[in-house]
């Protein structure tokens, strides 16, 4: 009989005691002591931030934008999370903030790639609903996929519609002026199971924020590259012919335009009016700026954001971006100084724009971003929101509110460090009350 191998004891990283699968004397699992929780927390924050940054970098690369410093940092930061490499809270926190610093560069590359490739954005009125004829609904974030699809349907009667985070595509002349881009259908990603079922044509998923499909539409759902769902069809090598053919075979969309909205208040549009904005603030005609947006979710607590936005004063402006915009863009906020009070700056991929506007205004007033009449309220859901938050913290921005709940991967000690250094705050139970606090400060 062959002897069974003897289980080797695991040496705990920190207390140097051994365990056999039940954890050391002060730990919770083999090789990791309880006092490592803060390091683990920072590693998780770093990993989430890197995932978000990699998403932005992927989009930028498809637009021809790369940077060796970015690539080197991703390698170094991932290496820092390997077992038995780093047990030091302070040095891990430095890497977390460095992730935010590098992410700013990545977001700038992506922003520049979009503008250089598809033209300088402009405010644009978008039809919501469908026009009569075959249709393809494009969801996700990838403007390259949308552009290539539009080129392949050119000259046909197939209409293309944006969904979710693709709505800002309409602000770019190269995309928005294309005769086959017919409008926008639906809302945020979490409603796609109902909305994709209601859309009669083909559906193309370009990036993340895709849900497992229902039987009612899974046979007409297509995906690209690493985006994938069971029983969905993968588009080969940017050849959208199968998607186009499916749209032609499907039931045509009805003529049903439900409403219109205005998008396209990209950083370039706002900065073109920077001098007027500065004078308006100095003259007491603008009381406050609010950045309200981020990554959305289905929780009822996210109604906080619409309550907050509706409580903003009539002489203030709301800048929004990401799919969090759908929480607040269904209301009429009116106009101020000839501009809509709610200005849609774009996707979560356009978060660089909000930061660039804040920095430009701070420069104009010869002050720091923290001295501006500016409040940032982020809805928290996925990795890109983590990357954006880390960028704000790396810039020293104070008083950012996040919610609707505390991130589970941030330990109490790490949260305390972030609150002490950056006055990072969780949203309260009442959006209107938090808005009043922001105005009072």
- Which residues are part of a known binding site for [4Fe-4S] cluster? 12, 15, 24, 33
Question: Could you tell me which residues are annotated as the binding site for hybrid [4Fe-2O-2S] cluster?
Answer: 141, 165, 209, 295, 323, 348, 382, 384
DSSP letters, 287-310, are -EEEEEEE---S-GGGHHHHHHHH
* CA–CA gap between residue 369 and residue 360 (Å, rounded): 9
* 183/44 Cα distance (integer angstroms): 39
Phi/psi class of residue 85: alpha, beta or left (left: φ > 0; alpha: ψ in -120 to 50)? alpha
**Length of the chain measured in residues:** 441
Give the residue ranges of the annotated binding site: 12, 15, 24, 33, 141, 165, 209, 295, 323, 348, 382, 384
Residues in contact with 124: Cβ distance below 8 Å, sequence separation at least 6, in sequence order: 170, 171, 176, 262, 263, 264
Spell out the SS3 assignment of 159-206: EEEECHHHHHHHHCHHHHCCCCEEEECCCCHHHHHHHHHHCCCEEEEC
**CA angle (39 as vertex; 36, 40 as ends), nearest 5:** 85
> Which residue from 290, 302, 282 is spatially nearest to 191, judged by alpha carbons?
302
Strands (E), 186-286: 202-205, 221-224, 233-235, 256-263
Q: How far apart are CA 86 and CA 235, in angstroms?
A: 42
Cβ pair 424, 376 in contact under 8 A = no
Residue among 249, 269, 283, 416 at smallest CA distance from 340: 269
């Amino acid at each position: 009989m062959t002897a069974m191998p003897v289980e080797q004891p695991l040496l705990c990283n920190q207390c140097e005691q051994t365990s056999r699968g039940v954890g050391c004397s002060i730990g919770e699992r083999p090789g990791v002591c309880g006092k490592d929780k803060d390091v683990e927390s920072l590693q998780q924050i770093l990993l989430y931030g890197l995932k978000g940054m990699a998403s932005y970098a992927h989009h930028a690369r498809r637009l021809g934008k790369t940077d060796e410093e970015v690539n080197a940092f991703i390698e170094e930061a991932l290496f820092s999370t390997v077992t038995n490499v780093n047990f030091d809270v302070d040095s891990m926190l430095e890497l977390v903030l460095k992730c935010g610093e590098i992410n700013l560069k990545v977001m700038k590359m992506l922003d520049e790639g979009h503008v250089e490739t598809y033209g300088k954005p402009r405010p644009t009125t978008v039809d919501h609903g469908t026009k009569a004829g075959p249709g393809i609904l494009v969801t996700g974030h990838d403007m390259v996929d949308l552009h290539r699809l539009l080129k392949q349907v050119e000259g046909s009667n197939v209409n293309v519609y944006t969904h979710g985070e693709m709505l800002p595509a309409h602000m770019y002349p190269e995309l928005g002026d294309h005769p086959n881009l017919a409008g926008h259908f639906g809302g945020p990603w979490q409603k796609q199971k109902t909305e994709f079922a209601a859309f009669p044509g083909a559906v193309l998923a370009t990036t993340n924020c895709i849900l497992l499909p229902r039987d009612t539409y899974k046979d007409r759902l297509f995906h690209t590259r690493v985006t994938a769902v069971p029983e969905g069809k993968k588009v080969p090598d940017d050849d959208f012919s199968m998607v186009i053919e499916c749209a032609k075979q499907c039931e045509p969309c009805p003529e049903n335009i439900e409403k219109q909205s205005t998008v396209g208040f990209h950083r370039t549009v706002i900065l073109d009016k920077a001098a007027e904005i500065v004078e308006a603030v100095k003259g007491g005609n603008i009381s406050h700026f609010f950045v309200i947006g981020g990554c959305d979710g289905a929780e009822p607590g996210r109604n906080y954001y619409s309550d907050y936005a509706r409580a903003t004063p009539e002489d203030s402006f709301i800048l929004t971006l990401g799919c969090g915009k759908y929480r607040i863009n269904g209301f009429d906020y009116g106009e101020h100084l000839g501009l809509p009070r709610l200005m849609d700056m774009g996707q979560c991929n356009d978060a660089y724009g909000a930061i660039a506007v804040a920095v430009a205004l701070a420069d104009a007033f010869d002050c720091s971003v923290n001295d501006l009449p500016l409040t940032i309220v982020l809805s928290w859901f996925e990795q890109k929101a983590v990357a954006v938050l880390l960028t704000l913290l790396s810039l020293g921005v104070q008083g950012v509110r996040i919610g609707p709940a505390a991130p589970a991967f941030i330990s109490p000690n790490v949260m305390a460090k972030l609150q002490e250094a950056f006055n990072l705050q969780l949203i309260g139970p009442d959006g209107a009350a938090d808005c009043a606090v922001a105005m009072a400060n």
